[in-house]
Structure 1
Amino acid sequence: MDKNLYAEHIATLQRRYDDILEACGFDTLNVFSGAPKVQFLDDNYYPFKVNPQFKALVPVTDNPHSWVIYRRGQKPKLLFYRPVDFWHYVPPAPQTYWSDFYDIELIASPADAKQFLSAEGAAFLGEADGLDGWPLGTPNPEALLARLHWARAYKTPYELACLRQANRIAVKAHRAAEAAFREGASEFEINLAYLQAAAQGENRMPYGNIIALNEHAAILHYTHLSEQRLPESERRTFLIDAGADCNGYCADITRTYAYRDGEFADLVAAMDEKQQELVAGLKPGLPYPDLHRECHQKVGELLNRFGVIKTSADNAVESGLTGTFMPHGLGHFLGLQVHDVGGHQAGPEGGVTPPPAQYPFLRTTRTIEENQVFTIEPGLYFIDSLLAELKDSELAKEVNWSKVDALRPFGGVRIEDNAIVRADGVENITRNCYAED
């Protein structure tokens, strides 16, 4: 990663953090990377996941017991944990594009950090388990967190570069996963092909990969990964929702494939067209829920065009019929976290703008602004539990149940890209990465 780009990024962060600390009445932030957690009744640890507030300040994602001490107007101090340990890997002292921007102290034990901390005028960000009696400061102040979360929505050029690289890695792996599907691999084998192509292990993935064949594509967060290979005659659908990591920033991409030509393949192609129209709708000044409503209109159009419903798209949206076939939100903020923070926030000071009552799972209610990054992921599914509820409702007469039964074995379709909002248009990171090959 370019050092000059990072220099601009850390300068922006310092201005941002200085202003936020002053507004909230603090001089210092003590930010803990976190500590590994021991599994219940065992002596092994759960996979370590870094505190996102820590990696917001320094691109270190895999080193527990580390700290960033940020004092207003000063160079941030990084306490980097390097134990003497013959059991586990010990990371080298940082010597990379970002290390000159931190005053780095190497600590050999977790307790060594205590001497560098002060509670006076300080706020603490992180989990405090095992830190009783430490001089941490005010733990996780809501007003300060609200301002940090709000600001995270506006990405710096360095952050955008990381998100582009995460997409490049993920697109390469998506191509490998599609090839494995077409060769008859099981869900488990497809996932291995994905991880190998990404050169990232499961613990580094931003979330559990969704690798779904046939009816499993109707399970929105399916991560079971069957080891069973399907005979060619039974191969119908492959839905993959999987990402990658770059310096702590996430990719989040979904593709759906039909094994052979036919009506479902046509539905996938039609959804792809609708998805790109929705990406183009990411315009500064538009409330995100308005784009979500437009998504339901497009889903209604597809349901009508493919004969799944007997009524018009307008009527299907108005009655809530489209919600059976697309129960989730259109997308979300993307950045250091897959579902990045602040999506429902009303303003920098906090408060919540809840999603519309008819769309309770919408993760973003903010107004779209320049330099924000979103996922756009419309879907259309045949989910047994929701279809059973629909069949018992007054709207059942609006549905062509024979067509539902014909498409049910395919599970569903979802297409997801990652996109940067620009003043003069949208940069579709994901499509650009596909076009690079």
Structure 2
Amino acid sequence: MKKVAVIGAGLAGSEAAYKIAEEGFKVDLYEMRPKKTTPAHRTGLFAELVCSNSLGGKDITTGAGLLKEEMKLLGSVVVETAEEFSVPAGGALAVDREKFSRQITEKLEKHPNINVIRKEITEIPEGYSHVVIATGPLTSEEFSKEIQKLTGEEYLYFYDAIAPTVDAETVDFSKGFWGDRYGRGEGDYFNCVLTEEEYEEFYRQLVSGEQVPLKDFERAVFFEGCLPVEEMARRGKQTLLFGPMKPVGLVDPKTGKQPFAVVQLRKENREGTLLSMVGFQTKLKYPEQKRIFRLIPALKDATFVRLGSIHRNTFIQSQKVLQPTLQMKKHPHILFAGQITGVEGYAASAATGILAGINVVRMLKGKEPLVPPETTMLGGLVRYITEPKKELQPMNPNFALLPPADKKVKDKKKRKLLKAQRALKGMERFALEWRR
């Protein structure tokens, strides 16, 4: 029987391996952790979430929300597990990180068609009919060189930053309030309140804080959707007030007024013992993070169980080397999936893993690989990363990737709803088609 190699057991690799195995084909799933780790990972568990515990919005009028609904139609193990181990997060699908990753790890390790091999891959393994490369943006240096030789193209890269996590018991809850913007949700965010004077001091210290230096041969190319908070602050004193510290849609029940500024904390686990600082990715040095973030009144005595960090995220120039099926143009039996392709966000990474798995299954059955309809969010994403362009920038799922709505509607939310409904109908048809 033909066997498939899936390299990397992150979100994309887990989806790809599970999809192929569920269709009755044997898979060797390679994962280097925990024997060799990365600057961001902490465990050897599959599908570990390193940047945030949120998989994005649930509403289908959000890019991530629509994509997750499409993934459910395709039998996503990631979305199924995320819903099983979700924690309250307003309109977002957030999870208990450890329980989520542990469940996926156990499901894949116990699957009769999946053979897990814990070792670092440094070259494309031989003896497989198909290979799925899903090593992610933190691909090891040795395998990066192998991929670079394989693609014949230089790598693009950017820096991704992680937000700190706080011990909830050390937060002064008298210095803020629980609540979601505009009253949406169940009050899953704690809003740390700052006065204008407190914000001024916080801003001054933030922009002057000491950062982790970059290596001489590296240059900082930050993805706009995940800018370090201090980088945002340097764009102007008001920038944070329109970004992660915006008070819009929030009313302090103690004053009946909108605060000058807020820092939102989101539950990291079901018990609510861990709280992450929303939008506070950073590359400040550890001592500076503690000093500066404790200027936020509610965090004056906070214990940071996980500090922010900076790591290099790598991705290939998919527009030059991949087909919309995620196959390589020069080596069609090799497919790429996940953030290494240039998609951004947990949902997008996992979704490309599903597509890679589907197309491997079709090829193993002697059928042509498929591309999801351009009216779907997944179809829009893969077309974006593979269509000709001078330079590829990482892309989140968003409605700008979809064709205009069939009917002209002025209301923005209604337009998105029409696009979303059309996308789900298209994905329903695709979900039936790929099995034919």
Q: Under a length normalisation based on structure 2, what TM-score does the superposition of the two structures give?
A: 0.24
**Which one has the largest radius of gyration?**
1
Q: Under a length normalisation based on structure 1, what TM-score does the superposition of the two structures give?
A: 0.24
Q: With CA pairs under 8 Å and 6+ residues apart, which has the higher RCO, 1 or 2? A: 2
